[in-house]
Structure 1
Amino acid sequence: MIVDDSAFSRVILADSLQQEGYEVVGEADCLESLVETYSQCKPDIVTMDIAMPGADGFECSKVLLAHDSRAKIIIISSMKDKETEAEVRRIGVVGYVQKPVESEVLKRVITGVMSPDRLYEQLENWSIDMFQEALAQSITRMTKTATTFSERTQLDREVSQGITVVIGIIGHYSGSMILDLSRETAEKMAAVILHRPAKNQEEVMAMAAEFANIVGGVACSMLNKKEPAFGLRVSPPSVFYGEQTKIASPTIQLQGIYANNDFGRIYLGIGFKKGIVLWM
């Protein structure tokens, strides 16, 4: 389905799609006809222009995704800058192609959107193992102690043990790592790592943040070595303190596991989301 206010642009795009073997099942030129046409023709892919009178492509994409969260929208527009890219990423479209469109490029994007995302499946399958190994290695190297692990769980809503460190992960896919431990566990670890008791709570928090940063960095390096296309890296840690804090992830399903060692129990949660499939 093609969404563009320009009849000429719709003709050009339809010809390109048909030459590549696709069937154009519907067209819309504004928000008013968008949802009705989509519901009638039930397309696999929707191409969306940005610059349209009235509701633009951003607003049309929001409305369509609110109507059907499974809709696969590819932005096709002459506009392509950091601001427009940031906005359509936030909205949740699956691809972006700049005009003038080459039929081979468009076909490659559509094929990628419609094909199973094997790269994401690999990341999902490998991530918990790599992060678990990174946690065990980091504990051993920094404290010279061994670690055992409990059964893995899907995080629904956990109550913090006292200190929660959140690490954002960026790359081909975005994700989050959560490390949670009690203040007592953090104090014991800090004393071993520093070879002295921590001077204050800030020093304990700083140790927890840096420890989580090391675990995340090591795990991302291991995953990138296994598959360079991931291109993962960590963002600066955020630390939260409070035993009544609820650990939850509204947009990412986390896989979780508990590590047990001489200092206490540490919770590790990791998860990724697909995000943009193809950006050209």
Structure 2
Amino acid sequence: MSATKVMIVDDSFFSRTLIAETLQLGGCEVVGEADSFDSLIETYNDCKPDIVTMDIVMPGTDGFECSRSLLMNDPSAKIILVSSMKDEETEAEAKRIGIAGYVQKPVDGEYLLNVIKNILSPDTLYEQLIELAPETFNEAISQNITRMAKTPVSFEPMETFDVNYVSKGITTVIGIIGRYSGSMILDLSLETAEQIVEALLHRPSKNREEVIAMVAELANIIAGVACSMLNKKDKTFGLRVSPPSVFFNSSSEIASPNLKMQSSLAQTSFGPILLGIGFKKGAASWI
């Protein structure tokens, strides 16, 4: 089995040397080093590491900004924050960005190696979530539209999309937080939304604001029900939803730069509804 390849990002030569020797003693191979934001992406693309250790304090920027840029360059990058600072606020920001682990200086070699091992080990819980999520979210949209609008729902599978998707008119995005972070996308035409409102209220919609409010609430209910169903299957998911963001523009593009979305097309008597769901690893690798 080949050695784990590690890239070290730290503006301190002494810190890079200390971390490098610790890693090498543990059987890792240090394949690259960067001391600033300027050399970060080029070095990463050249050495293609399995793991990146990242200091918080960097000249002209910080480890958070470096990590965001690195994840935009490669969403699968696995980053461990290595810093003398460690508190709830910095930990929360690291998890929000998608940093895989956090080790405090002075670095304990055994602990750092254990974090690396944990990050690179197969994450069976994440794989379980990825397998369960599409069917569960489909079930949630089917249950709620059938219950509220008294109409059946069928589904057409769609290809996983990680490129831009052109909206049909109204797009709602709901963030999902918990052991794994993610997003749910609900997209439908204005005409479809208007027909749903009329079925629910037994009258035509009064204005566009009423239609958009209905779509936001429908998306919120679907996401909440689906997350509750997933939590019942395994409570360690700990999923919760954030307030919906609604975008109205028939030419809007939906993009998921950090997520590969699994999608399906719900066929209703009102019209088609796109449902997209995606999760990424992050907090689950923390120990």
* TM bracket, shorter-chain basis: 0.7 to 0.9
Aligned CA distance change for structure 1 residues 184 and 39 (closer, same or farther; 3 Å): closer
2:212 pairs with 179, 202, 205, which one?
A: 205
Counterpart amino acid of residue 151 in structure 1: P
SS at match of 1:130: helix
Cα distance in 2 for residues equivalent to 1:272 and 1:108: 24
- Cα distance in structure 1, aligned partners of 2:98 and 2:280: 11
Amino acid at match of 1:78: S
2:119 is aligned with 1:152: no
Once residues 210 and 67 of structure 1 are traced to their aligned partners in structure 2, the CA distance between those partners, rounded to angstroms, is 34
Residues 98 and 281 in structure 2, CA contact (< 8 A), matched pair in contact too:
no
Stretches of structure 1 that go unaligned for 5 or more consecutive residues are none
Are residues 22 and 242 of structure 1, via their aligned partners in 2, closer, same or farther at CA, if it must alter by over 3 Å?
same
Instruction: Confirm or deny: 8 A CA contact 2:23 2:29 kept in the other structure.
Output: no
The one-letter amino acid paired with 2:183 is: S
Cα distance change of structure 1 residues 37 and 147 upon mapping to structure 2, 3 Å threshold: closer
CA distance in 2, matches of 1:44, 1:273: 17
Map 1:21-32 to 2 at 5 A.
Answer: 21-23=26-28, 25=30, 30-31=35-36
Distance 1:63 1:191 in 2: 45
Deviations 1:223-244 (A, max 9, x none): 1112222221111111122222
* Larger-gyration structure (1/2): 1
CA contact (8 A) 2:227 2:239 kept: yes
Corresponding position of 1:136: 142
- Counterpart AA for 1:248: A
- Name the stretch that deviates more: 207-216 or 114-123: 114-123
Distance 1:64 1:124, change over 3 A: closer
2:264 is the alignment partner of 1:257: yes
Query: What displacement does 1:61 show?
Result: 5.7
2:112 maps to what in 1? 106
Read off the aligned partner of 2:122 and give its amino acid letter: P
1:74 corresponding residue in structure 2: 80
Greater shift in the superposed pair: 26-35 or 227-236: 26-35
Cα deviation per residue 1:165-186 (whole Å; 9 max; x = unaligned)?
1111112222211111222221
Amino acid paired to 2:158: R
Greater shift in the superposed pair: 233-242 or 36-45 = 36-45
Return the TM-score normalized by structure 2: 0.77
Which AA in structure 2 matches 1:154? T
Residue type matched to 2:140 in 1? Answer: A
Residue in 1 that maps onto 2:223: 216
Task: Tell me the amino acid that sits aligned with residue 106 of structure 1.
Answer: L
**TM-score (norm. length: structure 1):** 0.79
Counterpart contact for 2:19–2:107, Cα < 8 Å:
no
The answer (yes or no) to whether the contact 2:55–2:82 under 8 Å persists in 1 is yes
Does the C-alpha gap of structure 1 residues 219 and 202 become closer, same or farther in structure 2, counting only changes over 3 Å?
same
Between the two proteins, the alignment pairs up a number of residues equal to 278
- On the 8 A contact 1:17/1:103 being kept in 2, the answer is no
Structure 1 position 125 matched with structure 2 position 131: yes
For residues 283 and 207 of structure 2, the distance between their equivalents in structure 1, rounded to whole angstroms, comes to: 43
Deviations 1:129-167 (A, max 9, x none): 111111101111111221111133223443322221111
2: distance between equivalents of 1:211 and 1:223? 18
Residues in 2 aligned to 1:114 and 1:65: alpha-carbon distance in whole angstroms: 17
Aligned pair in 2 of structure 1 residues 244, 70: CA closer, same or farther (>3 Å)?
Answer: closer
Root mean square deviation, CA, Å? 3.7
More divergent stretch after superposition (214-223 vs 66-75)? 66-75
1:269 alignment partner in structure 2? 276
Q: Is the 8 A contact 1:147 1:259 kept in 2?
A: yes
Question: C-alpha separation between the residues in 1 aligned to 2:218 and 2:41?
Answer: 49
Q: Please say which of residues 245-254 and 165-174 is displaced more in the overlay.
A: 245-254
Task: Tell whether the 8 Å contact from 1:95 to 1:277 is kept in structure 2 after alignment.
Answer: no
8 Å contact from structure 2 (residues 32, 47) kept in 1:
no
Q: Which stretch of structure 1 is more off in the superposition, 125-134 or 235-244?
A: 235-244
CA distance in 2, matches of 1:180, 1:34: 37
Cα distance in structure 1, aligned partners of 2:27 and 2:235 = 32
